[in-house]
Amino acid sequence: MPSLEDELFPSTPGKFKIDRTHTINRQFHRCFASTSTMFLWALFLIALTASYLSFQSFVDSGSRYFTASWGGIQWEKQVRNSAQIHRTGGMSVLVTGAAGFVGSHVSLALKRRGDGVVGIDNFNNYYDPSLKKARKALLNNHGIFIVEGDINDAHLLSKLFDVVAFTHVMHLAAQAGVRYAIENPHSYVHSNIAGLVTLLEVCKSANPQPSIVWASSSSVYGLNEKVPFSETDRTDQPASLYAATKKAGEEITHTYNHIYGLSITGLRFFTVYGPWGRPDMAYFSFTRNILQGKPITVYRGKNKVDLARDFTYIDDIVKGCLGSLDTSGISTGSGGKKRGPATYRIFNLGNTQPVTVPALVGILERQLKIKAKKNVIEMPGNGDVPFTHANISYAQREFGYKPTTDLQTGLRKFVRWYLSYYGYNHGKPVN
C-alpha cells in the first residue's frame, strides 16, 4: 500500500502532466516548482503527522490512566500512610513481590520495627492466588498497603516514586521455580530480566536514588561441585533457565551499579521454607499429599545418591534481608547520573547444614504422625541439582548473619501453620 507521502508526491515528477488551461492547476504547479518550496511543504507534512501521533499518544496515555487500578487522591493517601516511618533512623521501603512468601515476611518485619513499607505484587496464578490474597489481608491488618500491579509497568513504578521518596527497594518479585521453566520459559524472561531492568531504570532516574537489595538465588551455582558454595565460586554453568535468569540479573545489576551509582546487594537464597510458604516447594507438597493419603515422589541422584538441600527457615532469611538493608550504604547517583562509586555486594543466605530429602520426609512423617507413601525415582534432567550447601562467612562478617533454626524446629512450625490454615484438626480436615 502506498504511503501518504507517495500519494501526495508522485515518484516521477517529470511525468506529472498539468492542464495549463486551468488557473488553479497553474498556481499549484508554480507552488511546487522550486526545491525549497517542496522542502517546506515536506516539513509541514512531517510536523502535521508528528502532532497527530503526539495527540494520539496523549489520548492513549489518558485512557490507560483512567482505566488503571491505581492512582487518585485516595490511592496516594494510602501509599503515603503505609510509607510513613515510625522510628528514628528508619527507612521507607518499596517491597516488590510483597504478597509472596519471603516478601510478606520481610514486609511484616520491617513494619514491626517502625519502617515505612509499601508493597507491589501482580498476584499471578503460578500457584493459588488465594494464598497471596490471604497474605495481603495479613499485611493490610498491620497497616501495609499493597499495590496490585506489575514491575514491568514503568508508569506505575514512576508514580510510586513520585508519591514517596523511597530510601530503599527490597526487590523480591520474580518468577520462581526450576521445573516450571520447561513449561513457560517466557515468564522467567518477563519477570526476572525485563521486570528487573524496568525497576532499575526507574530507580536510577529517581532523585534521590534508593539503595536496592534483591533476591538472586543459590541456583546460580548450577553444576558447581565445590562445596560449600562460596560467593567467589564460578557461576557460569547454570543448570536451569531460572538459574540463568538469576545469573543474568547479577550481571545486569552490576552494570547499573557501575554506570549509575546505584547501591545494590544481591542475596542468594538457599531453599527457603516455613509458614505461609510456596505450595510448589517439596516440603509443602509432601505435607499436602501425606495428609491426603497420596503418594509423594522422592528423587535420587546418580548412583542412587540422596538429594540434599541447605534448607533455610524463613525467619533466618528475614534477618539476612534486614541486615542487608541496614548495611546497604547509599546510592551515589542523582537523576540518572553517577557521582561516585557505590556499594555492590552478593551474599549467600543459607543454613550451612544440608539435609537429605528422605530425612526431610522422615521429619514430616513424625510431625504429621502419618507414614508417607513414597515413589523413589531417579532425578530427571529438568534443571534440578543434586545438592546445595552455603558458605555464609561473608554475610557473618558484614552484618552478623547467623541462622538459628534447624530443620526439625522449622518444619514443626510449618506443620502447625499448615494444619491451622487449611483447617485440619489432629491431622484430619475440619468440615
Catalytic sites, residue numbers: 242
Nearest alpha carbon to residue 317 among 92, 104, 99? 104
Q: Distance between CA atoms of 287 and 275, rounded to whole angstroms?
A: 12
**How far, rounded to the nearest angstrom, does the alpha carbon of residue 337 sit from its chain's CA centroid?**
24
Strands, E assignment, 327-385: 333-334, 337-338, 344-349, 355-356, 374-378
Name the pairing type of β-strands 355-356 and 308-309: antiparallel
Q: Provide the 10 A C-beta neighbour count for residue 161.
A: 18
What residues does 424 pair with on adjacent strands?
429
Name the pairing type of β-strands 145-148 and 116-121: parallel
Judged by DSSP in three states, 389 sits in coil
Angle at 256 between CA 253 and CA 258, to 5 degrees: 110
Nearest alpha carbon to residue 315 among 403, 400, 408? 403
Is 276:417 a contact under the CB 8 Å cutoff?
Answer: yes
DSSP-assigned states of every residue in 1-60:
---HHHHHS-S-GGG----TT-HHHHHHHHHTSSHHHHHHHHHHHHHHHHHHHHHHHHHH
Cell numbers for 262: 546505584
Residue pointed to by grid coordinates 528423587:
299
